Amino acid sequence: MTLMLELPAELEARLQAEATRCGMQLEEYALQILQSGVQEQTVGAQIVAEWQRAGVIGSRPDITDSQAHARMLRERAQTRERT
């Protein structure tokens, strides 16, 4: 399949520089980035689906604000007495 994209000049320059650094042609490098991005999304979706099946996601309905909860845990850990 042939796909033509109009890239902003800055993005094209960054891609070209990185491709050169890796010793690759621009087209080859861009294809590698696209393939890895699709694979990461697929893997991420599979992990989320597995966690949902295992009951990990949603297992703590008492935590309504995960960021606030994480901050509280971090502060508690930082201020605890060390033995």
Task: Provide the percentage of residues in the chain whose pLDDT is more than 70.
Answer: 100
| Residues 38-59, mean pLDDT to the nearest whole number | 85
| Number of domains into which the chain is organized | 1
Residue 4, domain member (yes or no): no
Q: Is residue 56 part of a domain?
A: yes
What is this structure's pTM?
0.49
Q: Tell me whether residue 20 is in a domain.
A: yes
Residues 6+ apart with CB under 8 A from 26: 15, 16, 19
Q: What is the mean pLDDT of residues 38-51?
A: 83
Q: Is the pLDDT of residue 39 over 90?
A: no
Residue 1 belongs to a domain:
no
- For 46-71, letters b (16+ CB in 10 Å) and e give eeeeeeeeeeeeeeeeeeeeeeeeee
* Domain assignment of residue 15, given as a range: 9-79
CA distance 67 to 72: 9
Q: What confidence category does residue 1 fall into, taking pLDDT thresholds of 50, 70 and 90?
A: confident
